[in-house]
Amino acid sequence: MKIVVFSGAGLSKESGIPTFRDSTNGLWENFRVEEVATPEGWWANKNKVLKFYEARWHNIKACEPNAAHLAIAKLQEKHEVHNITQNIDDLLERAGCTKVWHIHGSITRRKCEDFRCIYEADHDKPVEHGDLCPICKSQCRPDVVWFGEIVNDNPQYLSELIKTADVFIGVGSSIQVYPAASFALQYFIKTKHKFFVDPDPNPRLVRLGYEVFEGKAVEMIPKAISKLEEYVA
C-alpha cells in the first residue's frame, strides 16, 4: 500500500522538541517571531537569527526519535511510505524513514541568503556568521522556511501522491496554518483510509471522514497502525 504520513510539531514533542504554541516553550520565550523567523528579521540582525537557530540546532541534535517516529519507519518494511512534514528536525530520517519531504525546510541543511542554493551541511555544527555558500559565496542561513516565505513545493510529486495514495495518516498538527493545512483538509480527503492522531484534534477532521485517535503520538500512532492492519488484513 502507498501511505502518506503528514506530520506537525506534535510528532516530535515527546522527543523533547517543544511545539511552537507550547506555553512552557523555553526556546521561543526570549525571542520575538518577527525578529528571528522572517526575512525582515534576517536582514535587520543576522547574528540574532543565527543565535536563535544555534539553540534550536543543539536542542534537536540532543533529542532522539520517539516511538512514533520509529513506528512510522517500521511501516516501510511492508508498505511504500511517504512522509510530508512541517517539522524542521531530522528525527524521521534518524528513525530510518527514507522518503521525507520537509515543506518548511530542514535545520540540518543550509541555503544561502541571496540565491537560495541548497545543500546538505557537511559538518556537524550550526550555521555561523561568515559561513559562505560553496556555490555562490553568499552568507549561509539554515534551510528553514520563515513566515512570509514560500513553502518548499513539489507539485508533480504531490499530484502523483494524491492520485495514488491508499492511506493518509496525519499526526501532531493543529492544521490551522496554510498552505500546510491543505494537505489534511483538501488534497488527501478522497484517500480511502484516513487517520489523524492528536491530543487536541481539529473538529473538522471527523466531518471530513477521518478516524481520529485522540492522544499523544507515541501512544496513538501504534494504535492507528494496528487499526489500519485490521482493515487491510
Catalytic residues, by residue number, are 104
User: Which of 12-20, 119-127, 161-169, 222-230 is the region at the interface with ligand NAD (rule: CB under 6 A)?
Assistant: 12-20
**126 contributes a contact to ligand NAD by CB under 6 A:** no
**9 contributes a contact to ligand NAD by CB under 6 A:** yes
Contact with ligand NAD (CB under 6 A): which of 2, 48, 117, 199?
199
**12 contributes a contact to ligand NAD by CB under 6 A:** yes
Residue 109's DSSP bridge partners are: 120
Contact with ligand NAD (CB under 6 A): which of 3, 4, 5, 13?
13
Identify whether the C-beta of residue 95 lies closer than 8 Å to the C-beta of residue 72.
yes
Smallest gap, in angstroms, from Cβ of residue 233 to ligand NAD? 26
Query: Nearest Cα to 205, choosing from 193, 217, 213, 196?
Result: 196
Q: How far apart are CA 3 and CA 179, in angstroms?
A: 21
User: Which of 46-54, 111-119, 120-128, 171-179 is the region at the interface with ligand NAD (rule: CB under 6 A)?
Assistant: 171-179
Q: Pattern 100-119, binding to ligand NAD, x per CB under 6 A?
A: ----x---------------
Identify whether the C-beta of residue 197 lies closer than 8 Å to the C-beta of residue 224.
yes
Q: How far apart are CA 91 and CA 12, in angstroms?
A: 8
Q: Is 50 exposed, middle or buried (0-12, 13-18, 19+ CB in 10 A)?
A: buried
Identify whether the C-beta of residue 87 lies closer than 8 Å to the C-beta of residue 7.
yes
**CA 42 to each of CA 34, 49, 88, 190, 232: distance values in angstroms, whole numbers, following the listed order:** 9, 6, 18, 40, 49
Nearer to ligand NAD by Cβ, of 72 and 217: the residue is 217
Q: Pattern 26-65, binding to ligand NAD, x per CB under 6 A?
A: ----------------------------------------
Q: How many residues bind ligand NAD (CB under 6 A)?
A: 25
Q: CA 41, 47, 52: angle at the middle one, nearest 5? A: 75
Residues that bind ligand NAD (CB under 6 A): 8-10, 12-14, 17, 19-21, 86-89, 104, 172-174, 176-177, 198-200, 216-217
